[in-house]
Structure 1
Amino acid sequence: MRHMHRGGRDRHFTAIDEAHGHHHRGRHGGRRRGGRLFDYGEFRLLILAMLAERPRHGYELIKGIEEQFGGAYTPSPGVIYPTLAWLDDSGYAAVEAEDGGRKRYTATAEGLEFLAANRPAVDALLAWVGEGGGDRREGAPAPVVRGMENLKLALRLRVRRGPIDAAAAEAIAAALDAAALAVERS
């Protein structure tokens, strides 16, 4: 069951929060509270702006965002679809069922009005995203962040496979040491 937010929905968007004096990090690359990629409401604003460009399926939004971040960030379906449902419930987006059960989302007139009324915040967010999300990790460019995420994932997957014997532990440590040395020298 979806919850309707018609009365107070605007409070969920960053532009409205900023207008009311709430503190939000600027677009200068510093980390956000809790290490989140987007401040409260920014992800909804990004999705709405993308829907204003053209109607899209959830998968197209996922791939579009991944592309904009150079592969360093890919939103999960568990983030995209609740956001789309919220935008639909709020009247900012509409959903159209297609043959095969797929859903296509589009910005409504009310959503377009909201974007127009908050154009400076939208433009700043889109510029930041267009730069690959700036740096969320102390100045690291998107390809470096992607590499860091790939390394974390590889280590997690290896640990899940089972116990690591002494020889495998030495091989992993040697690979990490070599990578660390290469990073220091670059």
Structure 2
Amino acid sequence: MPKTSFVIVILLLQFFIFSSIFYSLFSLCQKRYFCYMQELNFPSYTFRFKNSENKVAIFDEIRKKFIILTPEEWVRQHVVHFLIQEKKYPKSLINVEKVLHVNGLRKRYDIVIFNPNGTIFALVECKAPHITISQNTFDQIAQYNMTLKSQYLMVTNGLHHFYCTMDFENEKYDFLRALPEYQNPSFLSH
């Protein structure tokens, strides 16, 4: 075999080995960073992403900053877009991940929708897609809500969504088919 052919064969082998290693690393990166991007039971939305300290971050339209992408954050950002685009809630009435004091304890809520007068209209609890929504999940959010007095609750893992309205007099909640839209006159009456 001539020397030139031998060099070409070596270069091709190196190329294929490098390509194989690169493909393996790329696949690993995809599994590590993009497994969170599971398709959820929401309309399709456009999100902004960036690499932050070797982690994928997603832009939060409410907090106006990039947040490290986790499975729960993926659900939370879908809910934010759902509330704004489908339910027509103004961004100014939506708050994301703030601390509340409930019965002397510090609790962090996922999403709150306020009435224009500043009272809480709806409380949203987001879970990662692999988390099963159970009775305990509802009991927990309803318990927080006895203090907060939100009229509506939403619990979702991105795949299954549950909506309810509170009956404070009887200390219970009733399930609904959907969360009311912002333009709904009942929104402004609470």
Q: TM-score, normalised on structure 2?
A: 0.24
Larger Rg: 2
More strand by share: 2
